[in-house]
Amino acid sequence: MSVAAPATAQSVITSPHPDSTSVTIYRDPDRGDGGINLNWLNGFALITEHRRISLPVGESVIRFEGVANGMIAVSAVVTGLPGGVVQKNRDAALLSPAALLDGTLGNRVHIRRTNPATGKVTEEDAVIRSGSDNAVVLQTAHGYEGLRCSGLPETIVYDAIPAGLSAKPTLSVTTRSEQAVTADVTLTYLATGFDWAAHYVARVNDDGKTLDLFGWLTVANSNDISFADSQLLAVAGRVNRESDYDALVEQAPSPQLNLRCWPMDTTSTVQMQYYERMMEGALSPPPMMAPAAMAMAKSMDEVTVTAQRRAVQEDLGDLKLYRVPMRVDVNANGQKQVALLEKRKVPFDHLYGATIWPENVDDAVPLHMLIRMRNRERDGLGLPLPSGGIALFEPARDVQLLVGEDDLRDHAIGEEIEAEIGGSPQLHYQVQTTSRDGKQARYRLNISNANDRAAAVEIRLQQSDAFQYGRTSAKLGKKNGDLLWKVTVPANGSSQLDYVLIHRD
């Protein structure tokens, strides 16, 4: 849809919104494991918009309204125009109180005042004599005055929006057409202010040996523009990025409105007298704001959930692509959650563990509670798992209660998945020195279990070039460069590991 101005030497055609859109979101490559930071969305999106535009004969300017305010204008590609693109511009000022005032400088407006005591509204003509960077000065039939310095609630009413202001972020392109034509145009561009992550909910079954795993794909958009009824896709994996996208974003000018009053009796004293009379009860306070006016704009706390159908995984080279199978709204300053996966009766191990420095002699320290799964098809999974957060729930009689949460990295098929759910108040470890003899020192690692059931424990002992391990009272394995002690600690009991450290010169 497009709206054309009367034919001139250079016609201006406004396309107010796309007919359809596709939003492909790429994760912040530097975010690391876990979920997204709603206060710092440093991913980006590839936006593809389809618009039908009616072009006149000759040169014209097409205004694409409603593009993302995080648009990287240099990345914009427009196809489908018969005459191609002569030039493109990220358009000037967005509509705001300050920009509206500056655009009307020297022109006639209306000043509307409300008497708080009676509710009577009066209106008179005025001319704006100063811009938003100073105290706003108005000229009326009674002389000059500062805006909102009368002591009465007042506002400016404008007859029209000044030329060059847009209520939406806009991209303009110049094109030429040999004949009048209606064209199907595609606009593609990159935009900042997006990110996505997975979120997993694991519910332990009554058997205590399997869990049900449900995954959500959560996307976030910090732009002020919504993308309605869009095809939504998310790309997993690290995309090589050479450019600083934030530096390439051309932010539209946004002047600030600065209201100040003169320190004169005609302003400050009148205001003080008004408030003094109101406090004495001679005047009624201003009426409460209507509930509709108090409604807050959409915030990043708002979450829209779509669970009817799950995202479909596809390969994109060495990356993974998740395609949402139905069209959804990607709301401004909001989140969208779409079902990602659902796996029932996934076997898991419940164990306790810690990674310790073998010379740290200290008081008893809680062990971490761990759950471990194997990302294999025969173990109920067997699919790439994007990074995100995981929450574990366990049954307590007839309800499921939260036990703990952790961040997960990306996991490929075949990998071991381990989540650290939190510290255990029932299992502790403590290292004690038993003897010293020159370069050798003997230690005892004690694990205590206050539960009424046995506990599987894995302790990783770190290694160093400064020492080597001598005799140990149990056979140790290796894991990720550390020595590994695996033991089952009896219910209401304890287990010990004795080891020797030999320090090198």
How far from chain centre, in Å, is Cα 466? 45
Q: Residue with structure tokens 């708080």?
A: 116
CA 141 to mean position of chain CA atoms: 51
**What pLDDT band is residue 305 in, cutting at 50, 70 and 90?**
low
Average confidence (pLDDT) over 294-303: 43
CA-nearest of 37, 39, 24, 41 to 388 is: 37
Q: Could you give the 3-state DSSP secondary structure of residue 248?
A: helix
Domains and CATH numbers, the chain: 3-91+165-196+215-248 (no CATH), 97-163 (no CATH), 348-375+415-503 (2.60.40.290)
Please, which pLDDT band fits residue 210 given cuts at 50, 70 and 90?
very high
Q: Which two tokens stand for residue 186?
A: 């595609």
CA gap 209, 346 in Å, rounded: 8
Of 87, 47, 93, 52, nearest in space to 67 by CA = 47
Q: pLDDT per residue over 101-119, tens digit each?
A: 666 677 788 888 888 778 7
Instruction: Compare 399 and 486 and report the one with higher pLDDT.
Output: 486
Residue 94 has pLDDT above 70, yes or no: no
Buried b (16+ CB within 10 A) or exposed e, 141-158: eeeebbbbbbbbebebee
Residue burial 275-305, b: 16+ Cβ < 10 Å; e: rest: eeeeeeeebeeeeeeeeeeeeeeeeeeeeee
Confidence of residue 299 (pLDDT cuts 50, 70, 90): very low
Residues 97 and 130: their CA atoms lie apart, in Å, by 14
What amino acid is encoded at 70 in this protein?
G
Q: What is the pLDDT of residues 350-390, one digit of tens each?
A: 999 999 999 999 889 999 999 999 999 999 999 999 999 99
- Between 165 and 8, name the one with better pLDDT: 165
Task: For residue range 437-484, list pLDDT tens digits in order.
Answer: 888 999 999 999 999 999 999 999 999 999 999 999 999 999 989 999
Report the distance separating Cα 465 and Cα 480, nearest Å: 16
Q: What is the pLDDT of residues 62-84, one digit of tens each?
A: 889 889 988 888 888 999 998 88
